[in-house]
Amino acid sequence: PKATLKKYRMRCGCRKPGAGMIRKGMREYGVSREGSFMVGDGMMDIVAGQRAGLRTILVKTGPGHKRIDAMYNAKPGFVAKDLPAAARIIKRYAK
């Protein structure tokens, strides 16, 4: 909604933190919610994953993990230092 170009200034459930695109991909590709994780480096990723009903992992690889937006009342299910650590979490907890 705050895009520089006017044609992109809109609210859409498909844009994070909305979960529309995640849900659509899960339907189209037959991905089960129970066996899936949302991995991201920012709280917006975590919120989107939670809204899609996924377990979430916050990775500390980018600047986004440091910014905790007060507007999002969310906590990641797991925190990992990097993607290999996130993969180990998934391997351990995947159904």
pLDDT at 70 over 80: no
Measured distance CA(46)–CA(21) in Å, rounded:
14
Q: The pTM is what?
A: 0.83
Span between the terminal Cα atoms of the chain, in Å: 37
Q: What is the pLDDT of residues 17-61, one digit of tens each?
A: 899 999 999 999 999 999 899 999 988 899 999 999 999 999 999
